[in-house]
Structure 1
Amino acid sequence: MASADASLLPPEEGRPPLPVAPGLWLFAPSRESQGGSAWLIETAGADLLIDGPAFTRANLQFLAGRPRHRPGGSGGAQAWILLTGRDGHGRCRRLQQALGWPVLVQEQEAYLLPGVDPLHTFASEHQLGPDVRLLWTPGPSPGACVVHVSPLGGAGPDGLFCGRLLVPVAPARVAPLRLRGTFHWGRQLRSVERLRQWLPAGSPDWIASGAGLGALRGPKLVEQGASLIRDLDLEALALQPPGGPMTPKPLS
């Protein structure tokens, strides 16, 4: 780990992440992120930790043991922590201190991460290597974003980590969901429309949500992601009643 300070070690043992596909792991639901889902994926250029898993010994041992983990190396980062929204931050600062991995977050939520160093931000879009792109998708939270991992040379994973922009609602189905904590429902639906235009034709093959996955009834990934996103009825969704009080605020 990046530091030998015993104060950085978590008290809870926990359990290691679950292999879902070659080069893709799912961490156990974390109460530190309201039961959300964090992922690790191997890409051509780096390991990507998507959102913060529970701060446990098992998770830290797994992450610190990654072959690409080179804290303090001079050849550029080979591992990143990418945050798709405030509900997925978990104990990001502790994770970053223990691992030494740089953190990337949309600029509107950087203020929520005091003491995280190195911390990188982006505005509307960001290219993180040849096969990884991020898009700002406000709505679930002010700085919500998605991460698209596309194949290099036509071979490799073609997936979308959607954070809480799309939430499992039934087996093999995800959709925007108007929750009590939704930041701005109208912006969320417009973000889905923008996502449709931003994604390449026929992409993604699969979707990995950052929300709880219980509604999927077993599977962890939602297949046929491109058609699912294309077929969402945003006009009907606009009439969805809120799950509780909402206090939308204008974006800066």
Structure 2
Amino acid sequence: MPVEESGETTMEAGRPPTPVLPGLWVFAPNRDSRGGTSWLLAPRGQAPLLIDVPAYTAANLAVLQEAGGGKILLTSREGHGRCRRWQEALGWPVRLQEQEAYLLPGVKGLAPFGDELDLGGGLRALWTPGPTPGSCVVHAAGELDVLFCGRLLVPTAPGEARPLRTARTFHWDRQRRSLESLHRWLPPGSPRWIASGAGLGALQGEKLIDGGRGLLDDLLNGLQEGLLDPS
């Protein structure tokens, strides 16, 4: 379940997000989201988009306040963290798939969506249930060509990620079907990069997975041939 308030009276200093590509930053793993990873997408000339919420620290708050008005998009209940506190501090609207909106009662600016969402500027979101009921992914088209996959795909080795069945998986068959839907939904040849919302430790220092389309092709072939181990 998401963690909202802990009764803390002081804020950790923390460390700011790390630049990864022009207009893209990654935050340190967030213990409030079971070690999940959040991303800040802010290409030149576009309003920032915070994909899942990072730890509520002074360093992160300073960076996001300086970024100006933006939006928060949650890829699943695993990335909610202290969403209410972040929304109150920034005043940014929160977008999430409608299946999990009930988990954030009292959060202002909450705007659920259904199957798909067009965020403008080449940004689109797709509902991909499986890891959780309201899981979704975000694709940034154009020069960046990054797929923010939430926990639909989990890093397993440098340059590798796959769907994993765990004790917390909502519905494994739906997760498999979501991978097929994602493959059809993406533009031909996309994405170049995959940015996971799961812990990135398996990437051994890397933050992104290059060759994202090839990876998705291989995973889809594995699913169709029954070769992808669900565990």
Using structure 1 for the length normalisation, give the TM-score. 0.84
- Specify which of 94, 99, 112 is matched with residue 90 of structure 2: 99
Equivalent of 2:171, from 156, 176, 184? 184
Q: Deviations over 1:35-83 (max 9, x none)?
A: 01000011453211000100111110110011xx14xxxxxxxx11000
Q: After superposition, where does 1:165-180 map in structure 2 within 5 Å?
A: 165-180=152-167
2:103 matched to which residue of 1?
112
- Aligned pairs (5 A) from 1:120-159: 120-151=111-142, 156-159=143-146
Runs of 4 or more, structure 1, over 3 Å off, are 7-10
After superposition, the CA RMSD in angstroms is 1.5
Which residue number in structure 2 is paired with residue 244 of structure 1? none
Letter in 2 for 1:24: L
Deviations, residues 206-248 of structure 1 (Å, cap 9, x unaligned): 00000000111111000000110011111222x524xxxxxxx
Question: How far, CA to CA, are the matches of 1:168 and 1:37 in structure 2?
Answer: 12
| Contact persistence 2:163–2:230 (CA under 8 A) | no
Write the distance in 1 (CA, Å) between the matches of 2:185 and 2:9: 40
The 2-side partners of 1:8 and 1:180 are apart by: 30
Unpaired runs of 5+ residues, structure 2, are 1-6
- Alpha-carbon separation, structure 1, partners of 2:141 and 2:132: 25
| d(CA) in 2 for partners of 1:26, 1:137 | 22
1:61–1:105 Cα change, 3 Å: same
In structure 2, the partner of 1:86 is: 77
Amino acid at match of 2:30: S
What is the rounded CA distance, in whole Å, between the counterparts of 1:58 and 1:131 in structure 2?
29
TM-score (norm 2): 0.92
How far did residue 115 of structure 1 move?
Answer: 1.3
Q: Relative to 1, partners in 2 of residues 1:10 and 1:227: Cα closer, same or farther, differing over 3 Å?
A: farther
Question: Which of 212, 236, 249 in structure 1 is aligned with 2:199?
Answer: 212
Query: 1:133 deviation in Å?
Result: 0.3
SS in 1 for 2:32: helix
Tell me how far apart the structure 1 counterparts of residues 37 and 90 of structure 2 sit (CA, whole Å).
19
**2:215 alignment partner, SS class:** helix
The one-letter code matched in structure 2 to 1:213 is L
Contact persistence 1:207–1:225 (CA under 8 A): yes
- Give the SS at the match of 2:120: coil
CA distance in 2, matches of 1:114, 1:202: 39
For 1:18, the equivalent position in structure 2 comes to 18
Residue of structure 2 equivalent to 1:164: 151
Per the alignment, residue 59 of structure 1 pairs with 60
Identical-pair percentage = 60
Structure 1 unaligned regions, length at least 5: 1-6, 71-78, 242-252
Please identify the structure whose Cα radius of gyration is greater: 1
